[in-house]
């Protein structure tokens, strides 16, 4: 049996994975937003990107945006949302 199982190390590792997943989610949304502007050939400024990013001021808004963009069912667990993020990356 692993001595670190369920201990502080595992909790810390899970927290880091969550942080990484949250950062990846935000990156996916921002890149998708920028890509939309590039495809439409509309010029997008750094201020517009910053304004869009600031509208995603909490992880709930990030997940909500992912649900909308990628058709994730709202009742799916946070883990399912994170798996969907990985598929999009």
What is the DSSP secondary-structure string of 69-86? HHT--TTS-HHHHHHHHH
User: Is residue 81 in a domain?
Assistant: yes
User: Is residue 23 in a domain?
Assistant: no
What's the mean pLDDT when you consider all of the chain? Answer: 69
Contact predicate 48/85, CB 8 Å: no
pLDDT at 39 over 60: yes
User: Is residue 8 in a domain?
Assistant: no
User: Is residue 76 in a domain?
Assistant: yes
User: Is residue 87 in a domain?
Assistant: yes
Interval 45-78: pLDDT, tens: 878 877 777 776 666 777 777 777 767 665 656 6
User: Is residue 47 in a domain?
Assistant: no
User: Is residue 68 in a domain?
Assistant: yes
Structural domain harbouring 85:
58-89
> How many structural domains comprise the chain?
1
User: Is residue 70 in a domain?
Assistant: yes
What is the reported pTM? 0.45
């Amino acid at each position: 049996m692993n001595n670190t199982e369920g201990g502080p190390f595992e909790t810390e590792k899970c927290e880091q994975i969550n942080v990484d997943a949250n950062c990846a989610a935000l990156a996916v949304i921002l890149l998708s937003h920028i890509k939309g502007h590039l495809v439409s050939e509309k010029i997008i400024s750094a201020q517009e990107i910053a304004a869009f990013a600031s509208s995603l001021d909490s992880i709930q808004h990030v997940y909500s945006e992912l649900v909308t963009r990628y058709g994730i069912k709202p009742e799916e667990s946070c883990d399912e949302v994170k798996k969907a993020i990985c598929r999009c990356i």
